[in-house]
Amino acid sequence: MLEPLKEVEEQQSYSISEMNPTSSPFLSEILENISDGIFSLDSYGRFIYLNSAAEHLLERSRSDLLGASFWTCFPDAAGTPLYDYYLAALTTQTPQTFEWWFSPLGKWFDVRTYPGKNLFTIYLRNITMQKNNEAALRESEEMFRMITENSTDMISRIAMNGTYLYVSAASRTLLGYEPDALVGSSVFDMLHPDDLQFTDGHKEPSLTDLRIDLSAYRIRKKDGTYIWFETTARPILDKRGLNKEVITVSRDITARKHVENQLRETNELLQRISTVDALTGVANRRGFDECLLKEWKQGSRMSTPLSLILVDIDFFKRYNDSYGHIEGDICLQRVAESLRKAAKRPGDFIARYGGEEFVVLLPSTDAAGARTVAEHLRQQVELLQIPHTRSEHSPYITISSGTATMIPSRDMDPSELFLRADKALYQAKQEGRNVVRLYHRDE
């Protein structure tokens, strides 16, 4: 099962310093001081980060794990639900939540996986004690009382109509209420309105009809503010086998939610950065490829034209040789900014394809419209009047452009649009440069 992973690990070089999921000292400090274990794997399943809690939970040090494959370090995990959920998360690119018993460590873990394109983050929380406590609760009411009164989690007995029958002492710390003050009140009155839904709004509210994500929901404190709760629930049956009440164990996960939000924002930022050209600030080739695929699918669904303009700065190598790479970079930046300002319609997309080439995607634009835009781009760059003494036809920087237009189809590859624009650009260069040429099928 793991042979492909091992083969990739042996073939790929790795440098820990190249990737660091902690994007700021503030976030790093948070990760190092929370009780949840957090670690990140790269696309080959190798550790690139783990916090102190993860070291403790996995009973392995950073020096042993960083750079090594998770499945090599913990081969027994391959036959557990963790591996299945790992593959499911990678396949669907959606977070997975599950409980995992890892027998070599003798621990139960509450696991949350957060897949990304190049980063796979896993949260671990040791819930072994919680599991043991649940078993103890089933053994006797006396043991139940002892645990609830000494637990930092809020443990409650709730009737099916939502009325609190019992609340543990943790309510003082978590919600600001004395336990007796909550007994007799309704849990429904304390839940955030956005988290409170019932399958049948015309019936009397009941826990049976309550639809709520117990892994993360908001509950109101005595001071009117809301905190995030995570709750596990176990029904108590009457003699007829019907639900009589529910025992809940709740904990404050507000700090963890803040960390999750920080990580999500960080991953979104990294995703944006990965599609932007660092020099010019426009999209890079990866960003273009993603946009082309998206617009191609959209055009195929709507049967609307999609146009592409491929732009090349005339005699740019000579410019670099004459003025130097610093001036060359400044020239690229000015041209990119000019193109961005000129192609400003909603949906227009500009990217640096490579070197001195830029590409402009024009959704819902026919050939005539694309030619008009391309000519406008050419004129705007010429108006910059960037001196170019080694150009063969102008004292200033100019551009040549090739345009192509297609009605996208599922039967055709999106790259065909680019290839056609490239042929038109070649024609523009052959005909003297500083011109716009359209692709024609007979070319």
| pLDDT score, position 274 | 81
Domain at 307, CATH number: 3.30.70.270
Query: Rounded mean pLDDT of 150-178?
Result: 91
Q: Is the backbone of residue 93 left (phi > 0), alpha (psi -120 to 50) or beta?
A: left
290 and 429 in a common domain: yes
Q: Which residues pair with 403 in a beta bridge?
A: 309, 438
* 8-state DSSP, 433: S
Query: Rounded mean pLDDT of 278-292?
Result: 93
- Which CA distances in Å does 78 have to 1, 3, 10, 134? 8, 11, 18, 28
Residue 29 inside a domain? The answer is: yes
282 and 199 in a common domain: no
169 and 107 in a common domain: no
Residue 290 inside a domain? The answer is: yes
Q: What percent of the chain has pLDDT over 70?
A: 89
Reply yes or no on whether the pLDDT at 202 is more than 50: no
**Is residue 20 very low, low, confident or very high in pLDDT (cuts 50, 70, 90)?**
low
| pLDDT score, position 337 | 95
DSSP 183-204: TTSBGGGTB-GGG-EES-TTSP
**Is residue 265 very low, low, confident or very high in pLDDT (cuts 50, 70, 90)?**
confident
Residue 191 inside a domain? The answer is: yes
Reply yes or no on whether the pLDDT at 177 is more than 80: yes
End position of a domain, from candidates 126, 155, 178: 126
- Between 380 and 10, whose confidence is greater? 380
| pLDDT score, position 205 | 66
What is the tally of structural domains in the chain? 3
**Is residue 377 very low, low, confident or very high in pLDDT (cuts 50, 70, 90)?**
very high
Q: Which residues pair with 198 in a beta bridge?
A: 210
Query: Rounded mean pLDDT of 321-342?
Result: 94
Reply yes or no on whether the pLDDT at 52 is more than 50: yes
Query: Rounded mean pLDDT of 151-172?
Result: 90
**Is residue 349 very low, low, confident or very high in pLDDT (cuts 50, 70, 90)?**
very high
202 and 219 in a common domain: yes
169 and 116 in a common domain: no
Q: Indicate the burial class of 323 (C-beta count within 10 angstroms; 0-12, 13-18, 19 or more).
A: middle
Domain at 247, CATH number: 3.30.450.20
Name the nearest CA neighbour of 260 among 130, 114, 151: 114
Reply yes or no on whether the pLDDT at 9 is more than 70: no
Residue 59 inside a domain? The answer is: yes
Structural domain including 75 reads 3-126
Residue 154 inside a domain? The answer is: yes
Reply yes or no on whether the pLDDT at 442 is more than 60: no
Consecutive H or E run containing 146? helix 141-150
Residue 272 inside a domain? The answer is: no
157 and 121 in a common domain: no
Please tell me the number of Cα atoms within 13 Å of 49 on its side-chain side: 20
Task: Fill in the amino acid letter for 340.
Answer: R
pLDDT, tens digit, 9 for 90 and up, residues 35-47: 899 999 988 889 9
Residue 268 inside a domain? The answer is: no
| pLDDT score, position 399 | 96
Residues designated as active site:
356
- Between 237 and 211, whose confidence is greater? 237
End position of a domain, from candidates 71, 93, 126: 126
115 and 90 in a common domain: yes
145 and 84 in a common domain: no
Query: Rounded mean pLDDT of 271-286?
Result: 88
In terms of pTM, does the model score above 0.75? no
Reply yes or no on whether the pLDDT at 30 is more than 90: no
b/e map of 50-64 (b: 16 or more CB within 10 Å)?
bbebbbebbebebee
| pLDDT score, position 82 | 85
Average pLDDT value for the chain: 86
**Is residue 15 very low, low, confident or very high in pLDDT (cuts 50, 70, 90)?**
very low
End position of a domain, from candidates 95, 126, 157: 126
211 and 176 in a common domain: yes
Reply yes or no on whether the pLDDT at 26 is more than 80: no
Backbone angles phi, psi at 65, to 5 degrees: -100, -40
109 and 90 in a common domain: yes
39 and 97 in a common domain: yes
77 and 154 in a common domain: no
Reply yes or no on whether the pLDDT at 226 is more than 90: yes
How many CB atoms lie under 10 A from the CB of residue 440?
Answer: 12
Residue 98 inside a domain? The answer is: yes
| pLDDT score, position 198 | 64
